[in-house]
Homo-oligomer: A and B are copies of this chain.
Amino acid sequence: MSVEPDWIAVDWGTSNLRVWAMSSADTVLAEASSDKGMGGLDKSEFEPALRELIDDWLVKSPLILCCGMVGARQGWAEAGYLSVPCEPLSGTPSKASSELDVRILPGLKQTAPPDVMRGEETQIAGFQALNPGWDGVLCLPGSHTKWVEISAGEIVSFQTFLTGELFASLSEHTVLRHTVVADGVDDEAFASAVSDAIARPERLASGLFALRAAHLLEDLSPKRARARLSGLLIGAELAAARPYWLGRAVAVIGAGGLSRLYTAALAAQGVPAIQADATRMTLAGLTKARNQLRVAS
């Protein structure tokens, strides 16, 4: 059966490319993905990487609407930044140089302290579309976890933490790689590490080596060590992000395991965060952007 979408939704991050064939009623007709994230592509490789996934969907020359790192300076076409405070998706998408009708949504920037996002603004807009009038704080866990303050429909401020990349580089490229190789999470070890780090966040760098030492001297299991590493990093992040979540309504936008860890860590601080699925929010955000273009044209 042929797929003839009205438009194509594209989430193009650093590591992955995901596409959805969308009907004129904004339902999903088909979807596909690849590991051709912008991080591994030269300028000339974006269009072929996209065509690989959507070539069968181009019968009606659909609009192709993209969010994420594809709009960075090193991406397909630089899409600039909107400045906060602002509503997400209140800017004009940039056109990529292509025979396809490719438009890329701008990111967001903050001047003081300096910060940027690309892709998360679309998830935020999707969350707002599905939760009209919601005021509070959004946490978007990932390689670069974002904490975002929402008020009266606008993104007021945000702050990015390198927690996910810290976890990956520590567990793959330091002496801890011998200590944390494991699947699954030990919930008790995670919770106690979160608690330690929130109480004494400045001890992070010594807490990290202590994992190695406890592995050598006390047979700390890799599964517990991995959970402790995760807990120390997320706990230190929560300590620094306290002005965001303390006494606020919090929603965590993410996927599976990582989202669950953040929700558990917040619950231990007495913050009952609601959870929202990142992919669903991305698609709702791209749909909102699509509808804004319909209204504008």
Contact = CB atoms under 8 A, between A and B. Distances in A.
B116 A240 contact: no
A111 B240 contact: no
Given A116-B213, A213-B115, A218-B114, A240 B202 contact: yes
A90 B137 CA distance: 57
Contact of A114 (B159, B165, B217): B217
Contacts of A208: 161-162, 166
A3 B159 CA distance: 62
Nearest to A170: B169
A114 B73 CA distance: 46
B162 A109 contact: no
A236 B240 CA distance: 13
Interface string A32-65: 0000000000000000000000000000000000
A144 interface: yes
A98 to B, nearest CB: 25
A165 B174 contact: yes
A166 B162 contact: no
B236 A205 contact: yes
A237 B169 CA distance: 19
A109 B214 CA distance: 11
A17 to B, nearest CB: 18
A115 B210 contact: yes
Q: How many copies of this protein are present in the complex?
A: 2
A255 to B, nearest CB: 20
Contact of A175 (B144, B159, B175, B176): B144
A159 B212 CA distance: 12
Contacts of A129: none
A211 B14 CA distance: 18
A208 to B, nearest CB: 4
Contacts of A176: 162
Contacts of A205: 161-163, 166, 233, 236-237, 240
Interface of A: 73, 109-111, 113-116, 143-144, 159-163, 165-166, 168-170, 172-176, 200-206, 208-210, 212-214, 216-218, 233, 236-237, 239-241
Given A159-B206, A166-B208, 10 more contacts: A109-B213, A115-B213, A144-B209, A162-B176, A166-B205, A169-B174, A201-B202, A202-B239, A206-B237, A206-B240
